[in-house]
Structure 1
Amino acid sequence: MGDIQFLKELQEELRTQENDGQAAPRFWTVGDYEWVEAREENAERYSVYLPNVAESYVLDDYLEEIKKDSGLSKECLTELKKIGGDYDETIEWIRKYIDEEAELIPERKVHIIQPNTMFLTKKEAKSHIKSNKHHYTSKAHTYAMTAWRAPKVERLLKILETFDWDSIKIK
């Protein structure tokens, strides 16, 4: 495909694509979610940090793994089962049997804009997510943004959307 044909097709896509409620000039990025440390009252989950192995694990997943695969005695595991959902008692149990310096980390899920993503069309952003899904969570999505107070971007996109590409004479 030649450059002029590419620009004609891009122009049509820019003119007809959804705007996702964003004013022009608009572009698309990849939106996603990640877990970040939070204040305890805002926690949606807890992770446990184990300094002895320098690793963090989602607490519920970690406890399930211990119950299935640990070399701990039945007495230890029975004690763990009795704790239930009490976080103070859970961390004390982990400190007693796993790592004496273990810490609970309260976390919450936040929306993020993935860095280094910028697309002129929503279709291209969707294609990128599909072909790069191994880099994102299953909740990755297109996210429209406005290039606010960016006159050169605005002018460029206006040209791409309105220029009469048939008026160009090719040598």
Structure 2
Amino acid sequence: MNKDIQFLKELQEELKTQDTDCQAAPRFWALMDYRWRETTEGEHERVSIYSSDAGECYELNEYVENILEDEYNIYTEEMLEELREIYELDDESEMLEWIDENDNDDTFPIFEIEESFIVPNTMFLTKKEAKEHIKQNQHHYTKKVHTYAMTAWRAPKVQRLLTILETFDWDFIEKEGAVK
């Protein structure tokens, strides 16, 4: 039981001294990560190419790089030179047009936008614990994942529990001998 009291005392100190990330109490931490989702042309941040032959999706620049670096290339040197020039200009619409006109693979563009989202099934009492989780499980997330403070709005039981954890006098319990 003394180990439990020590844990609660340490948790209390951490809860009272950690950064609040501008969130009101009661607060907890979740994880925010990012993903690409399909959008309309003109609203997009990037273009990916879906290749029916490969059954894969590639970011546009990656797709073009693969064409340019392929040692068994089916394209003429003139075609590759034209693509290299377009690629160096970073002209998205010209790259898409070149692929449409020259690529034998059955492909089509996918216009995408990056969106943030709260990672499901994540809830941490402390920011430190959330950061530790990211460190130990980074293979499940993108490189952009980060902690995200949230308020348990209108959650009276959560409010009461966190208030108890932050204010209870654990030393009193130990001094009074209530815990053996």
Which residue of structure 2 lines up, in the alignment, with residue 166 of structure 1? 171
For the pair 1:65 / 2:66, whether they are aligned, the reply is yes
1:145 to 130, 150, 153: 150
Which residue of structure 1 lines up, in the alignment, with residue 80 of structure 2? 77
Structure 1 CA distance for aligned equivalents of residues 67 and 81 of structure 2? 12
- For the aligned residues, what is the CA RMSD? 1.9
Structure 1 CA distance for aligned equivalents of residues 97 and 17 of structure 2? 59
1:125 aligned partner, one-letter code: A
Greater mean alpha carbon deviation, residues 131-140 or residues 55-64: 131-140
Which residue of structure 2 lines up, in the alignment, with residue 99 of structure 1? 105
How many residue pairs are counted as aligned between the two chains? 169
Which residue of structure 2 lines up, in the alignment, with residue 37 of structure 1? 38
Which residue of structure 2 lines up, in the alignment, with residue 120 of structure 1? 125
Structure 2 CA distance for aligned equivalents of residues 34 and 90 of structure 1? 24
Structure 1 CA distance for aligned equivalents of residues 34 and 83 of structure 2? 31
SS state at 2:21 partner: coil
* CA deviation profile, 1:26-70 (whole Å, cap 9, x unmatched): 001111222211222221110011122221010111101210125
TM-score by length of 2: 0.84
Which residue of structure 2 lines up, in the alignment, with residue 56 of structure 1? 57
Which residue of structure 1 lines up, in the alignment, with residue 114 of structure 2? 109
* CA deviation profile, 1:86-106 (whole Å, cap 9, x unmatched): 52x534543442323x11111
Which residue of structure 2 lines up, in the alignment, with residue 156 of structure 1? 161
1:158 aligned partner, one-letter code: T
TM-score by length of 1: 0.88
1:115 aligned partner, one-letter code: P
Structure 2 CA distance for aligned equivalents of residues 61 and 159 of structure 1? 54
Structure 1 residue runs without a partner (length 5+): none
Q: Percent identity?
A: 58
**Aligned-residue offset at 1:166:** 2.5
Structure 2 CA distance for aligned equivalents of residues 59 and 40 of structure 1? 14
